[in-house]
Amino acid sequence: MAESSSELVVETSQLTKIYNNRQIALNDVSLRIEPGCVLGLLGSNGAGKTTLLRLAIGLHRPTAGWVKVFGKPMTPNAADLRRRIGYIPTNPQFPSGLTPITYLDYMARLFGLPKEVRKPRLASLIRAVDLLPHSGSPIDGFSNGMTARLAVATSLINEPDLLIWDEPTHGLDPEARRSMLELIKTLSAQKTLIVSSHNLSDIDEVCNHAAVLSHGQLIYCGSLQDLKGRMRRNHYELDLEGDQKSITKATAALKNIAEFKVVTLRQRKLEVYLHDEAVIAPTLSAALSVLHDHKVALVAIRSVGQQTEQAFLDLVEQEESRGFARIYRQEAA
């Protein structure tokens, strides 16, 4: 954590947003984002992700609490702060009839960039996002991938210190998605980023920190590694080597270990599920002893599943269980 607020890129305190005096979109959110952080903002539809991002760039006013960006309060009038931010909304839209060159030139003029700075920068950005062959083509005919790359160039035209991208890979085909992720990795070496995404494997690949929203509340904020450390690891695959009869006998012996819920053998690949209350290390150690006793060699062992996704689901499930328990206790009282 940073030692003082002035070192933080984004800081929120008890941030709350209520729409129409009845819909609580964000509830008492406090977080701190340090320089160089690549934060993955996670949450299901309606969790409050987009509301948080819009508050961070001053598009909305908070109902309660506050947002500071670069140590200064963010408000709808804080144009000086927004000049240091590059924002991509979900499904970015562009005016019809313009080309990438004319649109980027227009945006650069809005930022007050002089011609001698504007022209080489937009040319450099068009090359960087691989739109040079289409620089004079109307934006109307662009594919989703081309539109996404133009949105990236637009968000970088002012050379921002902070990038806030809302679902940047939404609607992209696999090739365009891969291109976007590689671009995020490149930018993460120079910028502070906040990336909102439904695709948890994207967050796992490009982010080093995560914030998880559930029903408008922040239920986790910290390193991605710590988040994955919270997950229940109960599904493993073991690659085995040895005589097939020995492997079959070892599998039968493993089924007698009470901590294993399911033990399945497919050729030389063993799949095991542990009971939730099982202690992992001694259980797996016991399994290795059984294999050794039957003269079966272990070639590899791996935890199965997308770790970030499982950790996220576990975290939301725990939070919702606590919420149900709170309601139950209130009704009982």
Tallying the residues shown for the chain, one arrives at 333
For residue 324, the model assigns a pLDDT of: 46
Q: What is the pLDDT of residue 323?
A: 54
Q: Which domain holds residue 248?
A: 232-333
Same structural domain, 125 and 50: yes
The Cα angle at residue 181 between residues 175 and 186, in degrees rounded to 5:
130
CATH assignment at residue 186: 3.40.50.300
**212 and 249: one domain?**
no
pLDDT for the residue 230 = 63
| 301, 222: one domain | no
Which domain-ending residue is among 179, 201, 229?
229
CA angle 137, 142, 145 (to 5 degrees): 130
Domain-terminating residue out of 180, 206, 229: 229
238 and 185 in a common domain: no
pLDDT number for residue 46 = 84
Q: Are residues 28 and 168 in the same domain?
A: yes
Residue in 167, 124, 172 with CA at minimum distance from that of residue 147? 172
255 and 161 belong to one structural domain = no
Same domain, 22 and 137: yes
**C-alpha span between 192 and 200 (Å, rounded):** 19
- 173 and 277 inside one domain: no
How far apart CA 284 and CA 289 sit, in angstroms, is 9
Which of 211, 229, 247 lies at the terminal end of a domain, its last residue? 229
What residue ranges of the chain have pLDDT lower than 70? 1-6, 229-233, 305-310, 313, 320-333
CA distance 310 to 36: 26
Q: Quick one: 48 and 189 in the same domain?
A: yes
My answer on whether 16 and 72 are in the same domain is yes
Q: Residue 310: name the closest of 220, 216, 234 by CA.
A: 234
- 224 and 305 co-located in one domain: no
218-276: pLDDT as tens digits: 988 999 888 776 665 688 899 999 999 999 999 999 999 999 999 999 888 999 988 87
The pLDDT of residue 22 = 87
The HSE-up count of residue 18 (CA atoms within 13 Å, CB side) is: 9
User: In this structure, are residues 74 and 68 in contact, taking their beta carbons and an 8 Å threshold?
Assistant: yes
| Domain CATH number, residue 317 | 3.30.70.100
Q: pTM here? A: 0.74
pLDDT at 231: 60
Residue 45 phi, psi (nearest 5): -55, 130
Only one residue has tokens 């320089």, namely: 35
Alpha-carbon distance of 220 to 237, in angstroms, equals 29
Mean pLDDT of the chain: 88
Query: What is residue 35's three-state secondary structure?
Result: coil
Q: How many domains does the chain have?
A: 2
**Are 104 and 196 contained in the same domain?**
yes
